[in-house]
Amino acid sequence: MTRSSILDPEVAADPHAFYRELRADAPVLQDARLGSFLVSTYRGVSSVYKDARFSTRAYTGTLEAIHGRTVLSMDGLLHAKNRALLTPHFRGQGLDRVHALIHRTAAKILEQIVPRRAQRLADEMRDSADGSRVDLVAGFAHRYPIAVIADMLGLPESDHELFAGWYGKIMAFVSNLSGDEEVHRQGLQARADLAGYMAPLIAYRREHPGDDLISMLVQSQVDDYRMTDDEVRAYISLLLTAGGETTDKAFGSLCKNLLVGGEWARVRDNRDLVDAAIAETLRFSPPSQITTRMCEEDVELEGVQVPAGSTMLLIAASANRDESRFERSEEFVIGRPDLDPARAFSGAAGHLSFGTGRHFCLGAMLAKTEMEVGLNLLLDSFPGMRLADGAEPVDVGLRTRGPRDLYVNLAA
């Protein structure tokens, strides 16, 4: 091993070189700077997700500080009740109800992506005289999932930018592995501002329910359990970051993978490949690269003794490229035989980007729907889209990761 910590500067630039070393030489390694145990193989990450000796208590300090207590840090009966209460709103008929909303939101943002139609966005996005070169990350991928969540909550469009500002600061707090004090302070302030904004809305929707997600959450009941106003606010905060950041990064990576790999035209001409392209992006470029667990008792994992109380960093980005699980694991292969798109958004998924077991991501199908709708609209609207001349998209981030920008030519 040439590196001993995931915080080493060169890891952020090229994490997969470090992950290959981990899988080969130290599948479970105690990080020299963090003290946490890094788990990098498919077998190791999958086993920790499914093993009750590893809990989500590791999230108590970070996520509860910024969101409040949510389903993400719960276990046992309380976790089961919360999942039962929340799941219907993000799968099946609950998801069908918001499909048209997602399509309208995507179309509205797409209307603004051509700079001549929206001068303010033109100032941010335009990079050529004819306006055909735009940054797809800033113009669409970053705005789209946040707008969907705001629309699902029934927030006025005039407040979307305010909502997006809180999202950015809360997400920076969650990703703050280095412990930057100013990022920490701004995150807590954003939490307070979001709470102050949501409190009267939640109280009003409890008394005057509509067809929005807030109304559905305050009315939902499992046995004798209902969410309190504070629990609803905490879940909205979690949805803002978990649903916004991951779909933002995933959609940017999806478009980048198709364009860099020369697959845009093939998927445009065969829409049956859309789900396979999304599934392969989740494997190859997972938006959430690292998740956390707490070891509740002494455990031997991959031959390494892990003491009770240890924090585990589960590197899905490494597990998804494990050579022992996937052929041509370092290549983006749409329709690969070892990844079934039909199972890629369920607990039986072959990739580990949504977790697995009892904490499998609640919003997986919402993310799939947003990515399907968004990609199909782009394919229809800009069939000849290609990377702009000189564009070299670079991925950034460690806990979450995606392209920093993606300059494309729409008029190709």
Tokens coding 36: 């946490």
Burial (CB count <10 Å: 0-12, 13-18, 19+), residue 300: exposed
Q: What is the predicted pLDDT for the residue at 221?
A: 80
Total structural domains within the chain:
1
Is residue 370 included in any domain, yes or no?
Answer: yes
CATH of the domain at 232: 1.10.630.10
Q: What is the predicted pLDDT for the residue at 122?
A: 44
Is residue 226 included in any domain, yes or no?
Answer: yes
Is residue 4 included in any domain, yes or no?
Answer: no
Q: How many CB atoms lie within 10 A of CB 207?
A: 7
Please check whether residue 134 is in contact with residue 125, taking contact to mean a CB–CB distance below 8 angstroms: yes
How much is the average pLDDT of 285-311? 96
Is residue 3 included in any domain, yes or no?
Answer: no
Is residue 320 included in any domain, yes or no?
Answer: yes
pLDDT for 125 beyond 60: no
Please check whether residue 1 is in contact with residue 25, taking contact to mean a CB–CB distance below 8 angstroms: yes
Is residue 186 included in any domain, yes or no?
Answer: yes
Please provide the average confidence, as pLDDT, over all residues in the chain: 88
Domain hosting residue 129, numbered range: 9-409
Higher pLDDT, 13 or 331: 331
Is residue 230 included in any domain, yes or no?
Answer: yes
Nearest 10 degrees: Cα torsion 191, 193, 194, 199: 120
Please check whether residue 291 is in contact with residue 246, taking contact to mean a CB–CB distance below 8 angstroms: no
Q: For the chain, give the percent of residues with pLDDT over 90.
A: 60
Is residue 1 included in any domain, yes or no?
Answer: no
pLDDT tens by residue, 179-232: 889 999 999 999 999 999 999 999 999 999 998 999 988 888 878 778 889 889
Q: Which of 350, 320, 346 is nearest to 332 (CA)?
A: 320
Burial string for 246-281 (b: 16+ CB within 10 Å, else e) reads bbbbbbbbbbbbbbbbebbeebbeeeebbbbbbbbb
**Residues paired with 201 in a beta bridge:** none
How much is the average pLDDT of 242-250? 88
Q: For the chain, give the percent of residues with pLDDT over 70.
A: 93
Q: Which of 332, 185, 343 is nearest to 264 (CA)?
A: 332
pTM assigned to the model = 0.90
